[in-house]
Amino acid sequence: MKTTALTAEMRQAFADLQPADIRELAGHGVPAVLIDAFQMAGVARVRVEGELYVPDAAGSAAVITPVLLENPRGPESCRPDVYEFLGNLVDLIAWNPRVPQRWALRTGNATWLGCIPPQYCDPAPVRVWRSPLNWFRAGCSGLVILGRERAELHRLLVGCSGGIIAEDLQHRAELVRALERPWPATRVYVDSPAGAEARRAA
């Protein structure tokens, strides 16, 4: 699906947003400025098919949020306070503030939501949120992990070199499990007589 088509869907979702929708989102803790000024939320009726959603006039109502970033290779950004609102559109996410931990992507291209500062020179810990709603409540700072592949989750979390701040103890336990090695360790040898002896001993 091309970026122009995603952009058109997001524009339509924002155009369909009603004052009652904004009030409901505000009631759930979503700052109105993120909707009014940055158009970070719209509404649409959708149908979920597997892990993706498709627009469906007979489907369920959902909030639509753009997934914006600076670099498709990772969430680091030289200006995370800018690119999380004005970055490159890579996907859309449909979610419901009443069931915040359930969501579906439009194309499946996104594996995270949000931007973080460069992870060098002793960076601050990164906040990781369980849901788009909690990310909105935090002013769109930190990350929401959208990918379901364990290796991708591991890569993103390991990239937060200054540490991670979880929502609570249970969330911390989930992230700690995700940081465990997602694949068996490969043995490493030295090509020498001593290395051959080590291989025989192994």
Please give the pLDDT value at position 70: 94
What is the per-residue DSSP string for 64-106? EEEEEES-TT-SB-S-HHHHHHHSEEEEEEEEETTEEEEEEES
pLDDT band for position 33 (50/70/90)? very high
Distance (Å, rounded) from C-alpha 28 to C-alpha 26?
Answer: 5
Tell me whether residue 196 is in a domain.
Answer: no
What is the number of domains present in the chain?
Answer: 1
Tell me whether residue 201 is in a domain.
Answer: no
Distance (Å, rounded) from C-alpha 60 to C-alpha 48?
Answer: 9
pLDDT band for position 195 (50/70/90)? low
**Residues ≥6 apart with Cβ < 8 Å to 91:** 6, 66, 67, 105, 106, 107, 108, 109, 110
Tell me whether residue 190 is in a domain.
Answer: no
- Residue 80 structural domain: 3-182
Rounded to 5 degrees, what angle do the CA atoms 153, 53, 13 make?
110
Tell me whether residue 202 is in a domain.
Answer: no
Share of the chain above pLDDT 70, in %: 92
Tell me whether residue 195 is in a domain.
Answer: no
Give pTM, 2 decimals.
0.86
Q: Is pLDDT at 65 greater than 90 in this prediction?
A: yes
8 Å CB contact between 45 and 38? no
Please give the pLDDT value at position 197: 58
Q: What's the pLDDT tens digit per position in 113-153?
A: 999 999 988 899 999 999 999 999 999 999 999 987 888 88
Tell me whether residue 109 is in a domain.
Answer: yes
For the residues 160-187, what does the mean pLDDT come to? 86
